Amino acid sequence: MKIQLQTLYNEYLNIKWKRGLSPVHTEPFEYGLYEDDSADLFLSGHSEATFTNWMSELRPEDPYYGSKPNGMPVLADIFNQLDVYDELVLYYLLFTLNTTMSIHTHNSYSEMNDWMKNYSFFQLAQLNGLSSLNDEQKGELRDFFFFFYLYTHPVNEETLYACSFREQDLIHTKTNIKLEHYFSAFHDHYSENRDKYGEQFLIAPHEIQACEQLTLELLRIIEGKSPKLSMPSEEGLEAVVDLINNVEQMLQMYAKNRTLVFDVMRNFLADPRTGLYRNHCFTMLLQNYASYILYFNFDEIHALVNDFRDTPAWCGIIINKIFTDAIFIHKIMRKNAIDIREYPNVIEFFDEQAREFCL
């Protein structure tokens, strides 16, 4: 059965941002809600087995604890360059991938991390279609987004730096194993040898294959091999969502007349309607402005401040959301050795949180 990732993604957004839309058919997976408002993808017909936890009992023993490991990786016959340390890292990467569309409850710190992980996931699929950026720029942004996708999960340092891109393939750098090949072999091994593992997992071989298909769909999004995901629109959000779903359009519009992009922000702020999803989309647009424009020319922030000079309250909202809703801009400033204190026209709009973050 073909996994309709866009349909699943729409359902994820519906639940996460409480859009109130009727559930849609997403066989063989379906979202189940917990009492704390978190949610997970369950395999249809199972009350316990989820896309994330079906393999929890298959986690390799941590070779960094206890006596020196003398075992072999489960897939050593297929990947003879693999050791038990690599096996654990690859398990962590698989787990990270499979939690992408889980919905969690958070404190303020973990909420930001979760937002950035999912923002980075969405952006990784957008890059290949951009003709306004050259290959080097797209490669920089791909590494930037993939770093944050892992960093904000969070993962340990070894896992954070374990992979690299070779063209459009993610590989485990130490062993030169493509993640696609490893994850396929992992699922195939357990579906073909289901009877050997007793109660270590509860799902049937065809359900393991469904999990494999979804895992690989998520991986292809990150590698830029799949059609990009789209954010669904709603009344009053059309202009914002159009720019989110088409970064090329935003970059071309900005190059032609940057005020046109600022007008989309202005019109959003002039609309009295509120809602979690509306705020999420506006935050995405502002972080796109940071990631695709300020990343390559931070001084463009002067144009933003000047354009909103006559509406200082709106300018303050935009500046503070850029600097406090995510930490992308802080990484950009460090990368480019930018001292924000040299931008007094920006600092004057900082609220207390932005000052605490930046000064």
Q: Is residue 23 part of a domain?
A: no
* CB-based contacts of 221, cutoff 8 Å, min separation 6: 5, 121, 124, 125, 228, 229
Q: Bridge partners of 163?
A: 172
Banded pLDDT at 66 (limits 50, 70, 90): low
pLDDT at 138: 96
Q: Tell me: do 291 and 315 sit in the same domain.
A: yes
- pLDDT (0 to 100) of residue 67: 63
pLDDT digits (tens, 9 = 90+) for 278-298: 999 999 999 999 999 999 999
User: What pTM does this model have?
Assistant: 0.96
Considering the domain architecture, whether residues 206 and 84 belong to the same structural domain is answered as: yes
Q: Is residue 134 part of a domain?
A: yes
User: pLDDT band at residue 108, thresholds of 50, 70 and 90?
Assistant: confident
Residue at which a domain ends, from 170, 191, 223: 223
Nearest to 30 by CA among 12, 6, 18: 12
Residue 315, token pair as written in the block: 């300018």
CB of 44 within 8 A of CB of 30?
yes
Give the structural domain span for 203: 52-223
- pLDDT above 60: residue 1: no
Task: Count up the domains in the chain and report the number.
Answer: 2
Q: Note whether 217 and 306 are same-domain residues.
A: no
Percent of the chain with pLDDT over 90: 88
